[in-house]
Amino acid sequence: MLIPSSHTFAVMGGEEMFTALVSAFYRRVREDDLLARMYPPEDLTGAEWRLRSFLIQYWGGPTTYSAHRGHPMLRRRHQPFHVGPGARDRWLSHMRAALDELALAPEVDGPLWDYLRRAAFAMQNRVED
């Protein structure tokens, strides 16, 4: 398993890659009938900033996320949302499409996808849709 560090952040493509990934992901979310409902339309920009900043920090980049939001507490922050298997799978589908759009090198795509899959399953908080 790859352990994120500042070196990893650079290898992953740095801020530019994470910005492109999150942008490609949210472009799909905006059009998704299930996921779009979870985001207030006036806060999509904020949601993009939060995901991008979190991923940057997680992979060894600047700690801007924690400086502004405190500890990530991902499960707790997602608890108010109904995240069943359908939402989880839809999230993963859009994230996979965003990764494919970026056509990252396998040594970047593999660990990133592995992390995103584990995170998506961890955020599921309902057994049924």
pLDDT at 6: 63
Listed by start position, the domains of the chain span 13-123
CATH number of 13-123: 1.10.490.10
Residues of the chain below pLDDT 50: none
Q: What is the model's pTM?
A: 0.89
**Nearest in space to 34 (alpha carbons), one of 102, 92, 73:** 92
